[in-house]
Structure 1
């Protein structure tokens, strides 16, 4: 998929370009910088770094990757956090923007980032994450490249306290009680059947079911067959007014995967791919559940993944990067393909 968040040591990641949080001076720093020098080969990398010279915060430059499983190391100098009033955010935006643009100039097909400036430089992790996601999002809308955000562990990966609190409250509220099938909202095609006693939560999480077909012959039932997932997806794309490229980029879907979907009428997506398209198209819960049902995919009130997606959709938040950050935080698979 174009964007991934993974838990790993960045020196062990395979990518065309590895981003280093560089010391502004020609010297080996701490943290990620030190680890990259050690893994790449200290003497040769330091000699190459000397040719760049002193770097200013927000700049980016490249050297060979030497012993790393990469072609290039892109060095960028992050901002030291003071109080947020010394252009720290603007500098961090520049780090990501210039690193990504440099990777494009070098014809890289993939790039791996650490969460820049969140170690010894003290940049607040939740804000640093939002800046990283914003710049990656902007870049991928106009470029084809695999961008990997690498973190050592989920504890080093922070969302805003409010978002974490809201998600956890939502999971607690809607995930504790078992919701029985009798309470579910029933969805079939574009029609809806509701039981009078149905509550809001049940309607949001209820699996799409078939309507009452008692008294109908098998032939009559089969004649009611509706669009496949692929057919419905492309109808929704047409109705949205977005072109294919915009949709697959907003869904964090690789262009080749999207081409296969377009060509294969009976394509069966994974759950995370189907949900990614629903997010890109900004579908509400009924429309999303209907689309997923055509791929034989249902939602469950006992699934943390499903509850997190439901939280964002019911709150009309369709930023796939923000959603993926939350899914990663809670140990769930991220959206895309």
Structure 2
């Protein structure tokens, strides 16, 4: 059974096997968590992402999918990049958000990762409501068949930490 915990802090400082990056589809860095991971991890992450774009993901990584790269200078072994959906009131995209978590855990299992740190995927510039994102994330992780022993939701601020903590209890 996977242990799920919440911590408030900076995901780039987490000593885990894999850090999940809320990436954009280009895989070439961006703002928010994505930019922080690329900055802290250094050029090795960007080089690995460019190689993925040149080989398998010429059109970018599809929403809801996940792929891994080395973690560069981060205190983790790998970065698992996943592209979250943009929130829409007109269209239910919650299955895509759930897929980000399932696919990230599938990739973690392929890598042999036992500890994985997740951010609050899609809650920044993609405007997913925090409480709903927390519910989807925690329910999906709880239901996943995985060998990951610990999932750590690393939340940047108090509001996100509270929203996820309520779901983990």
Using the size of structure 2 for normalisation, the TM-score is 0.88
Q: Which runs of 5+ in 1 are unaligned?
A: 160-323, 328-333
State which structure, 1 or 2, has the greater radius of gyration over its C-alpha atoms: 1
Q: Is the 8 A contact 2:106 2:146 kept in 1?
A: no
Are positions 1:325 and 2:162 aligned together?
A: no
Q: Which residue of 1 aligns with 2:126?
A: 121
Q: 2-side partners of 1:158 and 1:147: how far apart?
A: 17
Q: Which residue of 2 aligns with 1:285?
A: none
Q: Which residue of 1 aligns with 2:153?
A: 149
Question: Is the alpha carbon distance of 1:84 and 1:150 closer, same or farther for their aligned partners in structure 2, counting shifts above 3 Å?
Answer: farther
Equivalent residue pairs, number: 162
Q: Which runs of 5+ in 2 are unaligned?
A: 54-59
Q: Which residue of 2 aligns with 1:21?
A: 22
Cα deviation 1:162-202 (Å, max 9, x = unaligned): xxxxxxxxxxxxxxxxxxxxxxxxxxxxxxxxxxxxxxxxx
Q: Which residue of 2 aligns with 1:107?
A: 112
Question: Is the alpha carbon distance of 1:18 and 1:142 closer, same or farther for their aligned partners in structure 2, counting shifts above 3 Å?
Answer: closer
Q: Which residue of 1 aligns with 2:32?
A: 31
Which has more helix, going by share of residues?
Answer: 1
Which has more strand, going by share of residues?
Answer: 2
Q: Which residues in structure 2 correspond to 1:1-337 (within 5 Å)? A: 2-41=3-42, 43-53=43-53, 54-85=60-91, 87-139=92-144, 143-157=147-161, 159=163, 325-326=165-166
Secondary structure of the residue that 1:122 maps to in structure 2?
A: coil
RMSD over aligned Cα atoms = 2.0
Shift of 1:115: 0.6
- 4+ residue runs of structure 1 moved beyond 4 angstroms? none
Q: Is the 8 A contact 2:64 2:99 kept in 1?
A: yes
Which structure would you say has the larger RCO, counting Cα contacts within 8 Å and 6 or more residues apart? 2
